[in-house]
Structure 1
Amino acid sequence: MKTTVGSLLLSAGIATANPLAPRSSGVQGFDISSYQGTVDFSGAYSSGARFVIIKATEGTSYIDSDFSSHYDGATSAGLIRGGYHFAHPDEGSGADQATYFLDNGGGWTNDGQTLPGMLDIEYNPDGSECYGLSASDMVSWISDFGETYNSKTGRYPMIYSTADWWSTCTGDSTDFSTNYPLVLAQYASSISTVPGGWPYQSFWQNADSYTYGGDSDIWNGDSDSLSTFAKG
């Protein structure tokens, strides 16, 4: 997952618990994996960051070696944190990968400091862009993952993707726009395209670097609405 800080132009609105409700401001955060190694969580918090999304698993056989230390470090620094799963739809069912994610750090609790898990579904790093699946089969795979996650946590996972991949590999499906918060990857100073019928993104990965480690993400709201979202 490629994951800076830029100007964010947002529509006015009221902060609510609805993950798709309009937001009125932005909050800095970031995402990381073992690629980053040591991360300055306290420095990030002091600079204004309030959340971090941490790689936990990939496919059905990979657990990020730094997930536990990253999670503990983020917790100690006071950051809202959560895990993400890098999907490999060619390596097992959505249900199997959701279960693997949940068994290895991807769960959610309503303690106000835990984000719902995130499904990182994007370009295949090892082969066919869409993992050999048709658009309808990809939509079914994502639904299998999401429904499994929801059945075990009471929350639908966030979905991370790009507008291009989503259009190409799901046929720009609108099936997830009501219940699944969107984490949109688009490296720019403003957002040009929101895919899949989502009225806007919940989080925006706006660059592939962040001063204190990892990639930059922006929550589409203020700190209070971020806390409300985390609590569910």
Structure 2
Amino acid sequence: MPIRTSRFSRVRRRVATVAGALGAISAMVLATPNAVSATSENPVPTTTKSLKPGQAFMGAGTMIHEGPQRTTGEADSPTTYATVEGIDVSRWQGSINWTSVRNAGIQFAWIKATEGTSYKDPNFNTNYPNAYYAGVIRGAYHFALPNASSGTTQADYFASNGGGWSADNLTLPGVLDIESNPYGAQCYGLSTTQMRTWISDFYNRYKARTTRDVVIYTSPSWWNTCTGGWNGMATKSPLWVAHWTTASSPTLPTGFSVWTVWQYTSTGSVSGISGNVDRDRFNGTRDRLLALANNTP
């Protein structure tokens, strides 16, 4: 009996030790910062260093490499510059009530369709038609991974998987989301010359596929660093600039003299969407926004 009791005690102590270790590991996992859930119903993460391929969204790379450009406590919307309001969304916004979004005054939206050449946003096929039927002027965007394949290849993938265009009065041209790499080196390992070529190749193939000039989404810091402040797209592509501030106008990348769309916050809110959503505005009237959608002067 004493021997059995001793063995039982040793086993019990081992079990307790293992359980304690597992509990400690679980606590560490739960406490780890920057952890990103893969469920589509969660709001956009405010920390993004644990993003996995496919999970990028507009501004993800900017948050990682450039940091927030606005301070805590600032209003979501600048109040000194009235214009047409919009949003951009991806899987992170989960289920969206597009009728509520339109009733909240949102007139346009760009929706993530693709990333690289192997990822399609799982919510795109729901969001894209539902936005249309709610009367939101919508378009698709592609998150570029210039280190993964050529600009031509990614433009084809985008155009074939939601990034096309039709003259139906509610479809905007597609967007090339080209920003800091959320998965690694800021400029994706490309030189400024290589990056310019990549962007040109994407632009040329997208236009050949759709007849439209692709809209370029970028931040001033990334564009200046990774393209060398290139002016080669200024007369071709409408600029969508990411500059999170309450100023009356955004800072522009070198090489551009005017902005078409401005993403002014990454922590906005809109009726019909749970959690944070990027807020954007169009530089002009609704008539000019429709002209962009319909490719008219």
Please confirm whether the aligned pair reaches a TM-score higher than 0.5, indicating the same fold.
yes
1:223 aligns with 2:280: no
1:202 aligns with 2:244: no
Which residue among 188, 210, 215 is the counterpart of 1:131?
188
Aligned match of 1:6 = 78
Which residue among 235, 241, 249 is the counterpart of 1:178?
235
SS in 2 for 1:156: coil
User: CA–CA distance in 2 between the matches of 1:45 and 1:145?
Assistant: 32
Two-structure CA RMSD over aligned residues (Å): 1.4
Which residue among 106, 126, 137 is the counterpart of 1:69?
126
Aligned match of 2:53 = none
Which residue among 113, 131, 150 is the counterpart of 1:93?
150
User: CA–CA distance in 2 between the matches of 1:141 and 1:70?
Assistant: 29
* Residue correspondences, number: 217
Aligned match of 1:154 = 211
Q: CA deviation at 1:94?
A: 0.1
1:109-163 Cα distance to aligned partner (Å, 9 max, x none): 1222111000000010111100000001001000000000011111110000000
Q: AA paired with 2:162? A: G
User: CA–CA distance in 1 between the matches of 2:269 and 2:229?
Assistant: 29
Which structure features the higher share of helix residues?
2
User: CA–CA distance in 1 between the matches of 2:110 and 2:219?
Assistant: 17
Q: CA deviation at 1:39?
A: 1.3
1:81-112 Cα distance to aligned partner (Å, 9 max, x none): 00000000000000000000011000111222
Q: Give the gaps of 5 or more residues in structure 2.
A: 1-57, 61-75
Equivalence map 1:115-126=2 (5 Å): 115-126=172-183
User: CA–CA distance in 2 between the matches of 1:47 and 1:5?
Assistant: 14
Q: CA deviation at 1:27?
A: 0.2
Aligned match of 1:42 = 99
Aligned match of 1:193 = 251
Q: Give the gaps of 5 or more residues in structure 1.
A: 10-24
Does the 8 Å CA contact 2:250/2:262 hold for their aligned counterparts? no
Larger radius of gyration: 2
User: CA–CA distance in 1 between the matches of 2:79 and 2:123?
Assistant: 31
Go from structure 1 to structure 2 and tell me whether the alpha carbon gap of 1:128 and 1:98 turns closer, same or farther (over 3 Å shift).
Answer: same
Does the 8 Å CA contact 1:5/1:217 hold for their aligned counterparts? no
Of 199-208 and 188-197, more deviation after overlay is shown by: 188-197
User: CA–CA distance in 1 between the matches of 2:167 and 2:148?
Assistant: 31
Q: AA paired with 1:6? A: P
Aligned match of 1:164 = 221
SS in 2 for 1:52: strand
Does the 8 Å CA contact 1:160/1:184 hold for their aligned counterparts? yes
Q: Normalized against structure 1, the TM-score is what?
A: 0.90
User: CA–CA distance in 1 between the matches of 2:256 and 2:171?
Assistant: 23
Does the 8 Å CA contact 1:5/1:210 hold for their aligned counterparts? no
User: CA–CA distance in 2 between the matches of 1:229 and 1:197?
Assistant: 21
Aligned match of 2:41 = none
Go from structure 1 to structure 2 and tell me whether the alpha carbon gap of 1:78 and 1:107 turns closer, same or farther (over 3 Å shift).
Answer: same
Which consecutive aligned stretches of 4+ in structure 1 deviate over 4 angstroms post-superposition?
none
User: CA–CA distance in 1 between the matches of 2:261 and 2:95?
Assistant: 24
SS in 1 for 2:231: coil
Go from structure 1 to structure 2 and tell me whether the alpha carbon gap of 1:122 and 1:8 turns closer, same or farther (over 3 Å shift).
Answer: farther
User: CA–CA distance in 1 between the matches of 2:283 and 2:83?
Assistant: 5
